[in-house]
Structure 1
Amino acid sequence: MPTSEDTETIDDDLLTFVLPSDYLPGMDLPSKRVLKTQVIADLIAQSLLQVSNGTYCSAGTEWKNGMRSDVLYTPRLALQTTLPPILVEVQKKLSEAFIRRIILYCLNITNLYPNHPLPVVLIFCIDKCAPRNLLAKFQPCEEKPCLKYFPSAEWADKCYLVSNEAPNDDSPVLSPLHALSLFFSQQQPSLHSHSHPEDPTVKKLYELIKALCEEDETYEDNFRKTINDVCDTHNKLYNRINIAIRDIPGTSKACRIIDRALEYNSRLKRKFSMIDTDSESSLELPPNLPMSSQVPESSATRECEAAFIANYRKHLTGRMDWDDCLQRGHEEGIFKRYSTGNSLRANFGSKK
């Protein structure tokens, strides 16, 4: 627990901030959101390869065989072919099946980046290793005590596993990778409940996830408000049409369609207002698609978006396809503030 001197150095908002139960470190969405920020990409790349900040950026992780890995970092500049891609995975339980997936991910990465060295893999395990003898296959890494590596000469340059155990000594400062691992594995909702609240990397991680959580909450609030406004407008228009044609002969079928549309709107509004829907209805609700919102732009968000576009351009053949770039970004949880390719181009189109 932090002492009175420690708490004086912690921002008051961060000291009292508590993450919601569905946004804890180590969970899929918040973990990916944290890992895709430029500050964490820099932290990992510098720790593994001793490169300067900004060398790596987040790249796409959806492969042609339908598989999708967690986070991939690639060199920002196309000419940096001597640097390996970095694959980062946050896994609840380390298993042999998971190692086989890692191998397939690496083969996909190697096919996509044939001019680069084999990828470097970094694994964060939230829980435990099963079976236990699998952990014995990871060998100690003398230069990085918090890491163990898996012999993987044929499919990766190195495959590292980061320790999820707190150190035995009372040192308040952890290595950056160890701090990141404990941040994920301890899954604490607040800084003061973490085992190392005074560690500068742990503090930075809670500042980061606090900002991301608040950004996502703002987006969701705007999303629900927009859905409510759209549904209310549609209801008014459908009711006007219903009144206008109700007494006209031969319009009974049109009236039934309007009634179904009104029902659909009501269900859609309930769904996105977090009210249970009527599961017996045959109407099919649309998927949760990203849309434009008034999410305030942060420097981390802008950097992440710019890095994604730069990486997209790097692998592009032909003219820039802003609609496709937007769609791929939405799949990765990026560009939440944009709903059309034109709006994305208006903000980033001048970048070459």
Structure 2
Amino acid sequence: MPTDTDTATTSSHTNLSDPQATSFDSDEDDDLDILTVALPLRPGSDLCSKILLQEPYIKNIIISSVVGYGITGEAYLCSFTEQADGRKADFIYLPLAHDLPPVIVETQQKVGQKFISRAIRYCLNVLDSTNSFPILVVFNIAGFSSRAFRDSLFTQQDDQPFYSLQSKAWAKEVRVYNSNSIEQHLESPMQPLVALSYFCSNQGKSIIALDKYMDPVLQSIYEVAFRALSVGKDKQMAKDTAITNFCDAMIRQFNKIARSNQDSSTTVKRQIDEYAEDGAHFADMFKRRHVSSEPRPVTPITMEANEAPSADLNYVDNYRREATGRFTWVDCYDEGVANGHFSRYSSHLTLKKAFHQQTL
């Protein structure tokens, strides 16, 4: 198996120490002084890893280093991480050619027995689905659970910047990179995978705070990370916020239904129906906005030229026109129901929706 030193420079497609050979437009590089900026996410964190491992530049560092033989990241695809048993590895690179091994990448704070047991299952899942033993690469942020655990299972060759684990029954190779394993391999320019491990283990948002801040490979990694994380973090945070808000709203809706269900009166039963209908409507709108691959526009049903406005529409128009204070759909709905209107609508929300879609 070639070493990091043997393989890091074999790629004819990407010069890993050249900041221009990254996944961003070189015309934009002149505007970025990497020594003065800070990353929006901390290196080594889950979200940072998930975003960064999708970058072609980072993928190329990992693949060219651990697979070797001149193979670059272009020979691999980023894959979904969920396996048949529902467990999730951090990241998997799947080869385009059947004779290449899959590569599993894990970012782990402490490496202990529980993590190794979990990693074995990840590798066996990949073996089942690809019929190939994977290579497992671990970026170990906070070291092993104990020195005794490390010494009982792992070995390190003097010329290698990683710890190895005997894994013939479940993986082609296991590499664990951490601050101790790379300590004797920090000469500049650093080997690309050493620089990536240094990036993860130091967890510095600003490169200027690191001892090796002038290393060209490390600077390239920070440039890629800054651009990728600045975009990816905003998208992920927006998605997480939307999902959190949706879940909170659904929880409140079901709690209202549960509380109301204790009363069997006709009025409360109607209220339960309204809660359920509003919840279903909200869930449907959330799905349309965040899940569907294409927007599904709602085509309003317009009135024919000779069709008279409905009594409900006339009531809403008159109420809006005569309102002395702030118009609210809740008040309009409640007073309309009291006056015999809106029998088709279970709440002010469905009334409001019908008005804006011109179906009232």
TM-score bracket, shorter-length normalisation: 0.5 to 0.7
Q: Give the CA deviation at 1:193.
A: 1.0
Q: Give the CA deviation at 1:201.
A: 2.0
Q: 1:208 aligns with which of 203, 224, 232?
A: 224
Q: 2:348 aligns with which of 215, 239, 258?
A: 258
Structure-2 residue corresponding to 1:157:
172
- How does 1:92-171 map onto structure 2 within 5 Å? 92-114=109-131, 117-136=132-151, 137-141=153-157, 145-165=160-180, 167-168=183-184, 171=187
Q: 2:88 aligns with which of 64, 68, 81?
A: 68
Normalised to the residue count of structure 2, the TM-score between the two structures is 0.58
Answer with 88-97 or 156-165: which moved more: 156-165
Per the alignment, in what secondary structure is the counterpart of residue 14 of structure 1? coil
Aligned partners of 1:42 and 1:55 also within 8 Å: no
Number of corresponding residues? 237
> After the TM superposition, which segments of 4 or more aligned residues of structure 1 sit over 6 Å from their partners?
220-225, 251-256, 259-262
Is 2:346 the partner of 1:245? no
Aligned partners of 2:135 and 2:173 also within 8 Å: yes
Aligned partners of 1:246 and 1:252 also within 8 Å: no
Q: Give the CA deviation at 1:90.
A: 0.6
Answer with 46-55 or 163-172: which moved more: 163-172
Are the structure 2 counterparts of residues 251 and 103 from structure 1 closer, same or farther at C-alpha, using a change threshold of 3 Å?
A: farther
Q: Deviation digits for residues 39-76 of structure 1, max 9, x if unmatched?
A: 1111111001221340112111101222111010111x
Aligned partners of 1:118 and 1:157 also within 8 Å: yes
Is 2:177 the partner of 1:89? no
- How does 1:4-23 map onto structure 2 within 5 Å? 12-20=32-40, 23=41
Is 2:144 the partner of 1:54? no
Q: Deviation digits for residues 170-221 of structure 1, max 9, x if unmatched?
A: 7332111111111001000111112211222211111111112221355479
Task: Write the distance in 2 (CA, Å) between the matches of 1:107 and 1:113.
Answer: 10
Q: Give the CA deviation at 1:89.
A: 0.5
Q: Give the CA deviation at 1:222.
A: 7.5
Which letter does structure 2 place at the counterpart of 1:62?
Answer: E
Q: Give the CA deviation at 1:259.
A: 7.9
- How does 1:217-232 map onto structure 2 within 5 Å? 218-219=234-235
Aligned partners of 2:161 and 2:184 also within 8 Å: no
Task: Write the distance in 2 (CA, Å) between the matches of 1:95 and 1:28.
Answer: 18
- How does 1:284-295 map onto structure 2 within 5 Å? none
Q: 1:27 aligns with which of 37, 45, 50?
A: 45
Q: Percent identity?
A: 26
Are the structure 2 counterparts of residues 261 and 71 from structure 1 closer, same or farther at C-alpha, using a change threshold of 3 Å?
A: farther
Q: 1:38 aligns with which of 17, 31, 56?
A: 56
Per the alignment, in what secondary structure is the counterpart of residue 145 of structure 1? coil
Q: 2:208 aligns with which of 185, 192, 196?
A: 192
Which letter does structure 2 place at the counterpart of 1:36?
Answer: Q
Aligned partners of 2:51 and 2:232 also within 8 Å: no
Instruction: Determine which structure has more spread, i.e. the larger CA radius of gyration.
Output: 2
Q: Give the CA deviation at 1:167.
A: 3.2
Task: Write the distance in 2 (CA, Å) between the matches of 1:98 and 1:106.
Answer: 12
Task: Write the distance in 2 (CA, Å) between the matches of 1:98 and 1:27.
Answer: 17
Task: Write the distance in 2 (CA, Å) between the matches of 1:49 and 1:220.
Answer: 31
Aligned partners of 2:141 and 2:178 also within 8 Å: no
Are the structure 2 counterparts of residues 258 and 90 from structure 1 closer, same or farther at C-alpha, using a change threshold of 3 Å?
A: same
Normalised to the residue count of structure 1, the TM-score between the two structures is 0.59
Which letter does structure 2 place at the counterpart of 1:45?
Answer: I
Aligned partners of 1:41 and 1:57 also within 8 Å: no
Structure 1 unmatched ranges of 5 or more:
1-8, 232-236, 263-352
Task: Write the distance in 1 (CA, Å) between the matches of 2:186 and 2:128.
Answer: 45
Q: Give the CA deviation at 1:163.
A: 3.4
Structure 2 unmatched ranges of 5 or more:
1-28, 246-284, 287-319, 321-326, 353-360
Which letter does structure 2 place at the counterpart of 1:214?
Answer: S
Which letter does structure 2 place at the counterpart of 1:113?
Answer: T
Q: Give the CA deviation at 1:168.
A: 4.9
Which letter does structure 2 place at the counterpart of 1:176?
Answer: P
- How does 1:322-333 map onto structure 2 within 5 Å? none
Per the alignment, in what secondary structure is the counterpart of residue 25 of structure 1? coil
Are the structure 2 counterparts of residues 252 and 193 from structure 1 closer, same or farther at C-alpha, using a change threshold of 3 Å?
A: same
